[in-house]
């Protein structure tokens, strides 16, 4: 009996796109703008859903790791942008804990507020801040499901020492979701009655 | 700018252990017993935390994919037993949705009730049933953190068409957690104030 390894590799266009960008982004709006660009390019390259994320050094704004949604293209329901970015950042750092002593403080920037799975993943990752663009309701407006989230999820993260900034370039982020929907993007459906982010 | 791929590979002992077992397990107790054995062996082989899971065909009891916790050994906070098992099952099936038409119905068997992240991952995976051994409180008793879960998480899964059976061989599953703790297993800590499952 033999089982395959799980491998998730960023689409080739990510490296070349990021090579043309500065790797230090001083403001949170610049960081979100980059992540929104990744979410838009992920649609245009047909490499996944309209969601992206990235891990940055909070202090310097250095890009540590990007992530894009690859659920359909990698046949993996776990491959949300946030999970991909966090996992790659940990691989680069060589540690499952981005909050371990000796690391700078890291943040996760997500083009849309995280679904229930990604929300649960954030405290395990060691990031100290979450920055969100579009809201849950913007994803739901085009038919995606964010899962069963506690209504006080911001407070729950903050109790764990993770600060949250919502609505950063929300309109721009939400416009990518609308673009995906308007251009006939698949609202991929893991179950018969609802959809995934 | 170039970013590494994420690769998560089961420890070598998993294949050889499972080769000695029947690949059809008719009862849920037999399936849980296998998963508990994986959680115990994961400790003894020092390949991760005291948690394991597996995806089975609900009807026949055929083992589709195993998973063990590899958070520390793979430097990846996402690599919980449930996430590993679901992802490998999807890779084998070639689809992100284990509930897609044409598939038999699948279930996830987990040695301990899922943490907040894995709970959020379950509806996206397409499994139709969740079977748990140890409870949240058994994991918390040895210092692991299950995350911020809704108190009515069973009902939330059932609303999404996923049935839940708790406490299957609970004492046996919890005894593995205690064995891990008694043998000095690391309660690995992703943040300064709590721990991971």
How high is the ipTM of this complex?
Answer: 0.95
- Chain A CB contacts of B19 below 8 Å: 1
Torsion over CA of B8, A187, A133 and A113, rounded to 10 degrees?
-60
DSSP state of A58: T
Note the pLDDT tens digit of each residue in B138-151.
999 999 999 999 99
The percent of residues in chain A predicted with pLDDT above 70, rounded, is 95
Mean pLDDT of A129-140: 97
SS3 for B85-110 is HHHHHHHHHCCCCCCCCCCCCEEEEE
- Name A49's Cβ contacts closer than 8 Å, sequence gap at least 6: A42, A43, A69, A71, A72, A144, A180, A185, A188, A196, A197
Does residue A158 belong to the interface with chain B, where contact is any CB pair within 8 Å?
A: no
Domain boundaries, chain B: 22-182
Cα→Cα distances A55→A67, A188, B116, B132, B157, Å: 8, 26, 21, 33, 30
Output the pLDDT for position B172.
98
Pairwise CB contact (< 8 Å): A156 & B150: no
pLDDT at B194: 41
Over pLDDT 90: what percentage of chain A? 90
The per-residue pLDDT for range A34-69, each reduced to its tens digit, is 999 999 999 999 999 999 999 999 999 999 999 999
Instruction: At B190, list the tokens.
Output: 């992703």
**How far is the C-alpha of A171 from the C-alpha of B111, rounded, in Å?**
43
- Mean of pLDDT values over A182-188: 83
Sheet order of strands, A163-165 included:
A63-68, A52-57, A106-112, A129-134, A163-165
Q: Read off the pLDDT band of A184 (50, 70, 90).
A: confident
B146 included as an active-site residue: no
Q: What is the predicted pLDDT for the residue at B195?
A: 43
Question: What's the pLDDT band for B97 if we cut at 50, 70, 90?
Answer: very high
What residues of B are in contact with residue A65 (Cβ under 8 Å)? 3
> What is B106-129 written as a DSSP string?
EEEEEEE---HHHHHHHHHHT-SE
Tokens of B162: 């996923």
**Which residue in A1, A150, A196 is closest to B15 by CB distance?**
A1
Q: Which pLDDT value is given to residue A186?
A: 80
Average of per-residue pLDDT values in chain B: 94
Q: What is the average pLDDT across A88-104?
A: 95
What one-character DSSP code corresponds to residue B4?
A: P
pLDDT at B184: 86
CA distance A119 to A86: 12
Which of B154, B190, B192 is the best residue to mutate to test the A interface, defined by the most A CB atoms within 10 Å of its own CB? B190
The structure tokens 């998730």 sit at A8
Candidates B3, B8, B120; nearest CB to A117:
B120
Q: Which CATH number fits domain B22-182: 3.20.20.70, 3.40.50.2300, 3.40.140.10, 3.40.50.1980?
A: 3.40.140.10
* pTM score, whole prediction: 0.95
Mean pLDDT over each residue of chain A, to the nearest integer: 94
Residues 98 to 157 of A: which have CB under 8 A from any B CB? 99, 115-121, 123-126, 145, 147-148, 150, 153, 156
- Model confidence at A195, in pLDDT bands (50, 70, 90)? very low
Residue numbers of A between 60 and 99 with CB closer than 8 Å to B: 63, 65-66, 71-72, 74-79, 83-84, 86-88, 90-97, 99
Residue-wise pLDDT for A138-168, tens only, equals 999 999 999 999 999 999 999 999 999 999 9
User: Residue A131: beta bridge partners?
Assistant: A109, A165
pLDDT tops 60 at residue B13:
yes
**Strand-strand pairing, A63-68 and A52-57:** antiparallel
């Amino acid at each position: 009996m033999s089982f395959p390894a799980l491998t998730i590799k960023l689409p080739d266009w990510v490296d070349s796109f990021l090579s043309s960008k500065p790797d230090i982004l001083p403001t949170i709006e610049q960081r979100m703008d980059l992540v929104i660009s990744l979410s838009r390019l992920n649609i245009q390259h047909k490499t996944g859903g309209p969601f992206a994320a990235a891990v940055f050094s909070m202090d310097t704004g250095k890009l540590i790791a990007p992530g894009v949604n690859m659920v359909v293209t990698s046949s993996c329901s776990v491959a949300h942008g946030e999970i991909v970015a966090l996992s790659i950042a940990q691989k680069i750092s060589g540690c499952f804990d981005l909050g371990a002593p000796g690391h700078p403080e890291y943040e996760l920037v997500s083009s849309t507020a995280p679904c229930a799975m990604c929300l649960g993943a954030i405290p395990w990752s060691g990031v100290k801040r979450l920055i969100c663009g579009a809201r849950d309701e913007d994803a739901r407006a085009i038919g995606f499901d964010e899962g069963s989230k506690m209504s006080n999820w911001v407070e729950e993260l903050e109790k764990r020492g993770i600060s949250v900034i919502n609505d950063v370039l929300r309109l721009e982020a939400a416009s990518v979701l609308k673009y995906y929907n308007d251009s006939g993007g698949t609202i991929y459906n893991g179950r018969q009655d609802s959809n995934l982010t």
